[in-house]
Structures are given as C-alpha cells and as structure tokens.
Amino acid sequence: MEIPYTIEARPDTGLYNAKVGIWLFLASEVMLFGALFSTYILLRVGAPEGYWPHGWLNIPVGTVNTLVLITSSITTVMAWASCKMNQFGRFKFFHACTLCLALTFVGIKSYEYHDKFIHYEITLKNGKIADGHLVSKSADQVVIKGHYVEDRKELFDLRSGSAPHGHEEITIPRAQIATMDNYGPWHSTYLAIYFTLTGLHALHVIGGAIVIGFLWGPGSKLWKTDPERFTNRIEISGLFWHFVDLVWIFLFPVLYLL
C-alpha cells in the first residue's frame, strides 16, 4: 500500500504529512524541556542564598561544544540544500560532517561527565573538607589533587575572586574520612538538574545521530528511486537536529555561565 502525502502536500494542511508530524513532535518536545527548565528555575530560586553553584563547569569546553553543535546545524541545512540542488555528493559530504560533529559533541560531553565523576568532595572527621580530582584510592588512603576548605560554602562560587585555588596532591587516610562523594547527580540539586537536562539533551543528540547516520548510509539508497521523498526525510531529520541545537542554546548559558 502506498503511503499518502510523502511528497505532495495534503490539500487541507498544505504540507506533506511528515512535516506536520515532526512539528507536532517538536511541540511536545518544547513542553518536555520547558517542564525541566521550569524545574530548574524553581530549584534555583529555592536554593539558600550563596548555595547555588557558579563556575562548576568548564566554560571553554562548554563553549567549544556549543560551537560544535552550531556548526553541525549549518552542515545539516547545507546537506538539505545540496539535495534540493540535486548534488548528492555534496549531501554526502555535509551529512558526514554533521555525523562527525554529533559524535564530537557526545565525546566532549562524556569527557565532562567523566571529569565530574572523578571529582570528589571529602568531609573529614575534623570538619575540614578536601575537594579535588581523584588520583588513586586504596583500602587505607585516598589521594586527590585539590585543596582544603573550612566551610562548604567556599566551594559554591568558583568564579568569585575568593574561590579556593591550589591543586596540590593531598593524601587522606581512610580513618580520617567522614563522608566521600563524587560530583555525580546525587551530589547536589544543581548537579541533579545538570545531569538530567544535559543527559536528556545528549540522548536527543545520540538519537538524532542514529537517524542521520542511517540517512547517510543505508537510507540514502532512496535517493536513486525517489529523490524528493529522500529530500523530505533529510528536511525532517534536519528539523529535529535544529531543535536539539536550539535547546542547547539555552542550556549552555543557564548551566555554564549564570
């Protein structure tokens, strides 16, 4: 059975069906991310003064990842324009670039996650706090590269002039440790919402990359038999990809800079 309106516009909507479908899907995505953004706002304004982290994320790394995603948006739209201009070779090139950039984004994000998972806040029995990246740990001791603080509040605003510095190697006997937590989602409200928002976004990037990879590889056979339908598929996947970029445009300043 032939699927109707894959190329020609439906008389009542003026659009081919997939386009209406993707916009309805994107509308639901706006509400999904909107709900999480509103959660972020509530958590942030509800945090006690001075206890909302600032400067916990690596801004240069986040900036590079933003530029990577923006570049992937232009390569996506260029891939679609190449199809429209009947230049399949150029389409292949631009879509391969998009795929590489998507994987780069996920790779950089994984590096950032890893950095958080090896970052530890260790409260000692004498009340002092050691904060830094794990070097090694054994049954007897933990070695981190970081610094000591007297009050946990000193760890919250790392972009202020009074933020603790120093990255010397600190050896802490296990017997002196009261609690030891890494900077995973369980560490604080900020990291919980950070991992939720960026994790969901990363899943969208991975999902989009799978679709783009399919259309670049086995799915591109459709170009030979039905180029207009194939071009429409590229447009639909592109719309999703631009939405993913659009979400990141808000996530980056909200989580990294403010």
Partner 1 sequence: MSDHSADHFSQHIRRYLFVFYALLFGTLLTVGASYIPFGDRAVNIAVALFIAVCKASLVACYFMHLISERKMIYFIMAFTAFFFTGLMFLTLWCTGDQPFHTITH
Binding residues for partner 1, rule: CB under 8 A, are 13-15, 19-20, 23-24, 27, 30-31, 34-35, 37-38, 41-42, 44-50, 52, 59, 63, 66-67, 70-71, 73-74, 76-78, 81, 83-86, 227-228, 231, 238-239, 242-243, 245-246, 249-250, 252-254, 257-258
Sheet (strand 141-149) strand order: 168-173, 141-149, 129-137, 119-124, 177-182
Q: Smallest gap, in angstroms, from Cβ of residue 28 to partner 1?
A: 9
Residue 41 or 203 having the CB closest to partner 1: 41
Query: Does residue 77 contact residue 238 with C-beta atoms inside 8 Å?
Result: yes
> What string of DSSP letters covers 75-91?
HHHHHHHHHHTT-HHHH
Q: Smallest gap, in angstroms, from Cβ of residue 178 to partner 1?
A: 27
Residue 160 or 179 having the CB closest to partner 1: 160
Q: Smallest gap, in angstroms, from Cβ of residue 213 to partner 1?
A: 20
Q: Which among 136, 126, 71, 122 is positioned nearest to 98, based on CA atoms?
A: 71
Residue 81 or 200 having the CB closest to partner 1: 81
113 alpha carbon, distance to own chain's centre: 10
Collect all residues with Cβ–Cβ distance below 8 Å to 134 and sequence separation of at least 6.
118, 119, 120, 142, 143, 144, 182
Residue 178 or 249 having the CB closest to partner 1: 249
Q: Smallest gap, in angstroms, from Cβ of residue 111 to partner 1?
A: 19
Q: Which residues pair with 140 in a beta bridge?
A: none
